[in-house]
Amino acid sequence: MSNRKGLLIDLDGTLYHGDRVIPGAAEWISSLDEANVPYLYVTNNSSRTAEGVEGHLRHLGIEASADRVCTSALAAAAYIAAESPAASVYVIGEPGLHEAVSEAGLHITGEKPDYVLQGIDRSFTYEKLTSALRLIGQGARFVLTNPDLQLPSHDGLLPGAGTLGAAISAASGVEPVVIGKPSSILMKYAMERLGLPAADTIVVGDNMMTDIAAGAAAGCYTVLVTTGVTTMDNLASHQTRTGVKPDRVCHTLAEIQPDKL
Q: What is the pLDDT of residues 74-118, one digit of tens each?
A: 999 999 999 999 999 999 999 999 999 999 999 999 999 999 999
206 is catalytic: no
Between 22 and 157, the higher pLDDT residue = 22
Does the pLDDT at position 1 exceed 90?
A: no
With 0-12 / 13-18 / 19 or more C-beta atoms within 10 angstroms meaning exposed / middle / buried, residue 64 is: buried
| DSSP one-letter code for 177 | E
In the predicted model, what is the mean pLDDT of residues 229-241?
Answer: 92
pLDDT of residue 257: 84
Q: Do domains 6-44+181-260 and 73-178 have the same CATH topology?
A: yes
Domain topology for 73-178 = Rossmann fold (3.40.50)
Could you say which of 10, 121, 148, 206 is catalytic?
10
pLDDT of residue 184: 95
Weakest-pLDDT range from 16-30, 86-100, 132-146 = 16-30
> How many other C-beta atoms can be found within 10 angstroms of the C-beta atom of residue 154?
8
CATH number listed for the domain at residues 6-44+181-260: 3.40.50.1000
In the predicted model, what is the mean pLDDT of residues 50-57?
Answer: 96
pLDDT of residue 117: 98
Per-domain residue ranges of the chain: 6-44+181-260, 73-178
User: What pTM does this model have?
Assistant: 0.93
With left for phi above 0 and alpha for psi between -120 and 50, is residue 139 left, alpha or beta?
A: left
Could you say which of 12, 114, 206, 211 is catalytic?
12
12 is catalytic: yes
